[in-house]
Each structure stands twice: as C-alpha cells, then as structure tokens.
C-alpha cells in the first residue's frame, strides 16, 4: 500500500505542473487585468499603479512570472490576492474546507439513499415502485442543480423553515459551540439536498442496472441452488459484486460533484471555493483564480485517490499491485 500511495503521489506531480502551465496560459490570455479598472479611475495616479504592478510582478515577462509563482507555490505560498489584500493561501484554506464539507455531506446523502433504493427496486424489478422510482431518477438526473437550488430557495422563502442561503446566521459569532454547529448544519440542509439529488439519481440507476446484471449470472444461480436464503444471496453475492463499478463511478463523478458544488455555492451564497473562484474571475484577480483552480484540482486528485483506496477495500479481486500497473 505504501508503494502504491507513493507511486500515485509521484504521478500527480507532472499532472499538477501541466495544470499550472495551462491555467497560467489561460490567465495570460485574459484581456486586461485587475489594474485596468484602477487605471480608469482618475483619482489614482499612473505612478502608483506602476509601482503596484511592479510589486505584484505583473510587468515582467510571462515565463519569469510563471516560475516565480511556481517557486512560491512550492513553499505553499499561492501569491497575493489583489482584490482581498490578503495572501491567497489564507483565503483558500477555510473556503476549501466549506466546499469539502458540502460535497462530502452531499455524497454521503446520495449514497445512503441510492444504495438501498437501488437494491430494493432491482430486487422488485418491474414492480410499480420500480417504475415510479426509475422515472423519478430520470427526473432527478435531468433537473439542473442550479434550478433546483432556486426552487429550494423559493421553498425556504415561502415556508420559512430554512435559512435563505448563506453559510451561517448573522449572529453566528455570538453563539456557543453547539449552537454554532447547529447553525451550520441548518444552513447546510438545503444545499446538501440540492447537490445530493442529482448524484443520487444517477447512482441509483447504476446500482439498479448492476444488480439486475449480476442477479442473472451463473454464480448467483449456484448460490441459490445451494439453498442459500434470498437475503444471503442478495447481500453476500449480488451486492458485493455490484459495489465495484459503483465505487468506480462515484470516483469519476467527483469532478461533477465539485462543479455542482460551485454552482450551488454561487446560487445559495455559500462561502466555498467555487464562489471564491467566481468572484476572482469576475474581478480578474489572477493569483486567486489560479490558486482556486489548483486547489480544486488537488481536491479532485485526493478524491480520486480515496475512491481507488475504497475500491481495494470493497473488492478483494483488486489489489494495489494491479492498480499501480494501470
């Protein structure tokens, strides 16, 4: 396992370098920069702007800027946010944590519902519940999460049962520890629901089709022929084999989860990485943009790594040596 982890981590390095180059190139293509809006302001003298540009290194050639930035990234310094006037690293940390909490809860939500529902409808194939739930799954898969987020905001507005967007209440700072946690959870319910629904629908369909496929295979017939109870057949034979593609798919869908989280954050005004990136893009705060994209990529790579580890855990046929050789 140690060797596998090491190998995967080393494999990440060229990937991350490639991504930094790509995002740096993209940011250099951006017409104008943060200072172009300052230059329009007659109250700020051109000399001040020149000096600021020099401070931030924006007057140097592209290559020099890239390597300077890369060098400081290696020292865990992601640069300085031009709009927020603090270091990018300090901004990103807490925002990324919020995004991870949101995405992980949404994933948990969708798994906890998708697996049992998927099993139940597959076992009772073509029953009325199977049809209704399969149709609803299609419905849920097609519902754009930003639209569902708006609908939930409207729901919250009309019923008053949930806070209308935001990460925490106005009086958050005055609350005691447990109330703080309760407040955060209260603000998380709707976003987690919105983000979880789309994932749940897709995973439920996958679980259903996997179980249906495996239910008719030879080894399941053998298990039945041995006289095992239906319960044991489903849980020990069918389900275990259905979990492999399920976990693989879940790993692949992490990118969508992160993207969905960004949209939900933007619509519901949650202080996550996605909203931070959006603000940075709007104000052309280049170091913040690159820092956020890099952070998002790192999150995604870690997620994929965890998914692979989970795959080894649920499927005894997969081991680290076979994964490493892929």
Partner 1 sequence: MNATLATPAIEMARPLSAWRREWRHASWTVRLAALCLTVFYLFALASPFFAPYDPTFQNRLMPDCPPMRVHVAAPPDWDKGLFYTHPMKMVDPTERRYASDPSRRLYIHLLSHGHLFTTDSPIEPFYLMGSDALGRDLYSRIVYGARVSMFVGLVGVVISFSLGITIGALSGYVGGVVDNLIMRWSEIEMSLPSFYFLLALAAIIPAGLSTVVTFFLIVAIMSFISWAGFARIIRGMASTVRGLPYVEAARALGASRSRIIRRHVIPSVLGYAIVAATLSIPGFILGESALSLLGLGIQEPASSWGNLLAAAEDVQNLRHYPWILIPGIFIFLAVMSFNFLGDHLRDRLDPSNAG
Looking at the Cβ atoms of 45 and 125, the one nearer to partner 1 is: 125
Beta carbon of residue 45, minimum distance to partner 1 (angstroms, whole number): 26
Q: Can you tell me which residue has the tokens 């017939």?
A: 221
Looking at the Cβ atoms of 184 and 215, the one nearer to partner 1 is: 215
Looking at the Cβ atoms of 15 and 48, the one nearer to partner 1 is: 15
Beta carbon of residue 36, minimum distance to partner 1 (angstroms, whole number): 11
C-alpha–C-alpha distance, residues 320 and 217, integer Å: 27
- Binding residues (CB under 8 A) for partner 1: these are 15, 18-19, 22-23, 26-27, 29-32, 135, 138-139, 141-144, 146-147, 150-151, 153-154, 157, 164-165, 209, 212-213, 255, 258-260, 262-263, 266-267, 274, 277-278, 281-282, 284, 289-290, 292-293, 296-297, 299-301, 304
Beta carbon of residue 15, minimum distance to partner 1 (angstroms, whole number): 6
CA distances from 116 to 211, 229, 247 (A): 11, 19, 15
Looking at the Cβ atoms of 186 and 304, the one nearer to partner 1 is: 304
Beta carbon of residue 22, minimum distance to partner 1 (angstroms, whole number): 7
The DSSP annotation for 163-228 comes to --SSSS-TTGGGS-HHHHHHHHHHHHHHHHHHHHHHHHHHHHHHHHHHHHHHHTSHHHHHHHHTT-
The DSSP annotation for 133-167 comes to HHHHHHHHHHS-HHHHHHHHHHHHHHH-SS--SSS
C-alpha–C-alpha distance, residues 289 and 296, integer Å: 11
Beta carbon of residue 101, minimum distance to partner 1 (angstroms, whole number): 17
Looking at the Cβ atoms of 196 and 291, the one nearer to partner 1 is: 291
C-alpha–C-alpha distance, residues 58 and 51, integer Å: 10
Beta carbon of residue 286, minimum distance to partner 1 (angstroms, whole number): 9
Looking at the Cβ atoms of 45 and 93, the one nearer to partner 1 is: 93
C-alpha–C-alpha distance, residues 207 and 217, integer Å: 16
């Amino acid at each position: 396992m140690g060797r596998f982890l090491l190998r995967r981590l080393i494999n990440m390095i060229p990937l991350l370098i490639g991504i930094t180059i790509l995002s740096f190139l993209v940011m250099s293509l951006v017409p104008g920069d943060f200072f172009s809006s300052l230059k329009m302001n007659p109250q700020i003298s051109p000399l001040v702007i020149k000096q600021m540009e020099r401070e931030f290194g924006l007057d140097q050639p592209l290559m020099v800027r890239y390597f300077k930035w890369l060098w400081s990234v290696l020292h865990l310094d992601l640069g300085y946010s031009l709009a927020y006037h603090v270091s990018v690293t300090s901004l990103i940390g807490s925002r990324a944590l919020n995004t991870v909490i949101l995405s992980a809860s949404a994933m948990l939500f969708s798994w906890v519902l998708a697996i049992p529902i998927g099993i139940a409808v597959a076992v009772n194939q073509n029953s009325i519940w199977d049809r209704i739930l399969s149709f609803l799954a299609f419905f849920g898969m097609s519902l754009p999460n930003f639209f569902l987020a708006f609908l939930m905001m409207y729901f919250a507005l009309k019923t008053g049962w949930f806070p209308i967007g935001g990460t925490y209440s106005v009086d958050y700072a005055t609350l005691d520890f447990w109330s703080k946690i309760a407040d955060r959870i209260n603000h998380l319910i709707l976003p987690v629901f919105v983000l979880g629904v789309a994932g749940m629908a897709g995973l439920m369909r996958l679980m259903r089709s996997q179980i249906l496929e495996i239910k008719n295979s030879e080894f399941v017939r053998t298990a039945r022929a041995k006289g095992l109870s239906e319960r044991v057949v489903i849980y020990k034979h069918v389900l275990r084999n259905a979990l492999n593609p399920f976990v693989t798919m879940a790993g692949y869908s992490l990118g969508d989860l992160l993207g969905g989280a960004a949209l939900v954050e933007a619509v519901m005004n949650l202080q996550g990485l996605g909203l931070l990136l959006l603000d940075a893009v709007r104000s052309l705060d280049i170091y913040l943009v690159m820092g956020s994209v890099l952070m998002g990529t790192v999150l995604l790579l870690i997620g994929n790594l965890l998914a692979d580890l989970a795959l080894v855990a649920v499927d005894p046929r997969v081991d680290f040596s076979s994964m490493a050789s892929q």
